[in-house]
Structure 1
């Protein structure tokens, strides 16, 4: 409804201003000719809106990284069906994706190897994870740490390479990944949220579910202002006698020949004598080709626990 370059301001007591302050969406129905002043500050604009037959308005704040970037306004005219709560949910989803795009999408990639007990991380504009290494002398309390991870550009920007950080994690350590919305809010900056997260993790319970509950209760006492994702994982490891290794040439065809097939006499539990680069799962009966050419045990639990 505005010409390019034209500015529009809303009074402090108007619905758009309240939506920006509270961060809550608004569904407004225009009754008859009662177009509010914040939509049409002049009579000429009011006549334009009347001629269009505008009857429903959605005001949806743009949230990202714990703050409000602006406000999106959706209107409906011509058709007689008014905007409803289903339209509001769709508009909020659209606005959420738009806000992430406006601030550039970010990503954190982590790989943990249960054989070498090493973790590799790469960040595209995302906060590094929090690591709580298990102390061999005190298993009830450890120190939460932030690994030094080179922060690359957010996804989509391009032009710069991504660097990988690698470090060793003792078995039983905690790896905590989360979005910015868990730490930052309208009344709290990231540093304060990070300190609270570390305080909780230094005396985290054994249960990953209880750890998640404590983190959410401490960091999100009320309605969060941004989308929140939290992943808490505990590392587990494979002992050397649980791993079988075979050397193969750097040729994809090498894994499709007879040497890559399991022996006919192989039975679950005989994995130590199996010269195959594949791993078999007694529990699911499937066959997988891992990146590492190693086969693990078939009767133990997976080498790691995680809880969302």
Structure 2
């Protein structure tokens, strides 16, 4: 019986062999309704037909020749189809289901043919059982080989996607620049994943850093694109070009709904938003549209297109692209927020810095401010030039610890406080003490612990009449000083005295960093500051700066300070302006974008003509008032300012009378002619006078009111030994 069954099956296979292609078509028609997703991949469906015919032929060969089907190898077309399923992202379950459906269909056809060939029921039944056994064995054996081929390609795809994911993690978001981050997304997308990758961002987002709800046709800007073809000839939009998608287009739908789309495009039906205008057009066949969405904000759209790669995008590719786009969107949003905050902070900081040169004659000054080139954000560096009484000037440089808007706002508050304290003519160390209290109060008001608000500050006062420079530092780097070349040849080191003002004048060194006593940073409280004083030759260069100028990754601090001194010395020639000195210092000290903010203030000192300063020592006797008036009248006559004589005599009379009556000896009168005429009266009493309202029958109390009416401004400044009352009049 067994021989009869084998012979019958061999005859059956021999008669059916010419019809294998026909049967393959029938089996494919039967599976079309069961597996409609297979026909979404036109290339795979055609290869499946050929693969089915090869399987039928191999199975019939085994039946006809009586071979063991376990020894049969799966047809090459079957292995190639399995690889195609894996490349196309078709699930393995779909592949195995095609085997089951084709196996069942083939057994049904064979059973029908077996019944037609014989009337022997026993033989037909035995043949059917043999077909079932052989068919299952063939399917089991061939499916093992097919699954192995599928899994190998699938593992390779998974590995490739892991590589792409890792590359995206490594390469996207390396900077806090919005456009560069978009370029990184396009570069990753066009490397082994898509043939063309484009990134569009909302134009409103790029213009003002804010985002507006997408309109029906929002305007976008093509900020980045990469292609496997040089120059992106396959893109209809140029980089940097503004454009809009029509409301009914797929990109507009993605922007409006926030849902990604996977599109399979026929070559003859390429939409206009995808195809470049000039022929020949690439054969676009598969497109991924991904919304760039982060933190509830729509940022733009990313597109990945295939036209050179034959395999279309699949569901796995869509998931991978979503992950990459989501990661890039967060980085783009971070860059957008950083750029917006940095721009705001920089605008705020520049608005708080001096906008134009301050009118004063003590020094000729120039300043520069450079924000850092790092992602840390704008810092709190500042500088200031403040005119003081008696032709003096205050030079200030400071640095608030921290970054961003908070640091810029704190800088503005401290700069305002410094100006307020400078108006009452405090000594540098006293000013820093009061400024220290301000910082501590800010810490308490904001509820910060551990001294999160901190700053450094260098405050210098230069008097052109005496050429005396007084400085105090709160944790700030010392200034650099360069004397004119003619003076430097015979100069020694700067004469510094932290206790005594008016030490014997000595020339500053050619370029030196004075041994300035540096106090603690602002915000610690309870620690003293010291004022250092020295005389500067006329025409000296004084450079005040923040530590961003001397910090370098390639030089230590000592080398940077030496380079700073040498560069300043080269600019000590009187022909070089402070503006040119600033530019030279920045060019030499900085090799590129600074890692920290830089504030630089360079001043060339001027000396007041000794003939424009008149001093008189007065005895503590009311009779000396008349002599002071005569001295003032004679001095103004020698200066050809007779028209100011009357007002000046009244001012001198009131100030000297107050000093003799309420002050302590010694009493000094000084007249200073500079951009204004200043009358100063010094006495050793530290108690400051103040204006009061005099009643009708009061005999006194109107002196300071009279001084205030006759002068443009007046005030009191305190020193170590007493106070000076001054009044300033405009020159005719």
The TM-score range, normalised by the shorter chain, is 0.5 to 0.7
Question: How far apart, in 2, do the equivalents of 1:288 and 1:280 lie?
Answer: 15
User: Could you state the TM-score of these two structures normalised by the residue count of structure 2?
Assistant: 0.27
**Which residue of the other structure, out of 291, 296, 314, is the alignment partner of 1:53?**
296
Q: Which runs of 5+ in 1 are unaligned?
A: 1-10, 35-49, 57-72, 77-81, 251-257, 300-308
Pick 1 or 2: higher relative contact order, CA cutoff 8 A, min separation 6. Answer: 1
Partner of 1:136 in structure 2? 487
DSSP-derived class of the 1:198 partner: helix
Question: How far apart, in 2, do the equivalents of 1:115 and 1:184 lie?
Answer: 36
Superposed counterparts of 1:7-156, under 5 Å: 13=171, 15=173, 18-19=174-175, 24-26=176-178, 32=258, 53=296, 86=340, 89-90=343-344, 95-97=377-379, 98-99=402-403, 104-134=454-484, 135-136=486-487, 138=489, 143-156=510-523
Displacement, 1:153? 1.6
DSSP-derived class of the 2:584 partner: helix
Q: Which runs of 5+ in 2 are unaligned?
A: 1-168, 182-200, 203-254, 261-292, 300-330, 349-376, 380-401, 411-451, 491-508, 621-627, 653-669, 678-710, 718-723
Cα pair 1:124 1:151 within 8 Å, conserved? yes
Call closer, same or farther: CA 1:162–1:88 in 2, change over 3 Å.
closer
DSSP-derived class of the 1:192 partner: helix
Question: How far apart, in 1, do the equivalents of 2:526 and 2:541 lie?
Answer: 34
Cα pair 2:713 2:728 within 8 Å, conserved? no
Residue deviations 1:186-223, cap 9 Å, x none? 44333222122112122214222222221111112322
Displacement, 1:244? 2.4
Partner of 1:64 in structure 2? none
DSSP-derived class of the 1:121 partner: strand
Larger radius of gyration: 2
Call closer, same or farther: CA 1:14–1:157 in 2, change over 3 Å.
farther
Cα pair 1:117 1:237 within 8 Å, conserved? yes
Residue deviations 1:155-191, cap 9 Å, x none? 2221211111111212222211111111113443332
Residue deviations 1:10-49, cap 9 Å, x none? x66552xx34xxxx55576899579xxxxxxxxxxxxxxx
Question: How far apart, in 2, do the equivalents of 1:217 and 1:105 lie?
Answer: 27
DSSP-derived class of the 1:172 partner: coil
Displacement, 1:126? 0.5
Cα pair 2:455 2:521 within 8 Å, conserved? yes
Cα pair 1:183 1:194 within 8 Å, conserved? yes
Partner of 1:202 in structure 2? 569
Cα pair 1:148 1:165 within 8 Å, conserved? no
Question: How far apart, in 1, do the equivalents of 2:616 and 2:340 lie?
Answer: 57
More helix by share: 2
Cα pair 2:612 2:672 within 8 Å, conserved? no
Call closer, same or farther: CA 1:210–1:52 in 2, change over 3 Å.
closer
**Which residue of the other structure, out of 712, 716, 719, is the alignment partner of 1:287?**
712
Question: How far apart, in 2, do the equivalents of 1:181 and 1:153 lie?
Answer: 19
DSSP-derived class of the 2:512 partner: coil
DSSP-derived class of the 2:586 partner: helix
Give the superposed CA RMSD.
4.9
Question: How far apart, in 2, do the equivalents of 1:243 and 1:127 lie?
Answer: 34
Question: How far apart, in 2, do the equivalents of 1:161 and 1:198 lie?
Answer: 28
Question: How far apart, in 1, do the equivalents of 2:177 and 2:172 lie?
Answer: 13
DSSP-derived class of the 1:111 partner: strand
Cα pair 1:132 1:201 within 8 Å, conserved? yes
Question: How far apart, in 1, do the equivalents of 2:344 and 2:259 lie?
Answer: 27
Partner of 2:625 in structure 1? none
Call closer, same or farther: CA 1:121–1:179 in 2, change over 3 Å.
same
Query: Are 2:601 and 1:228 aligned?
Result: no
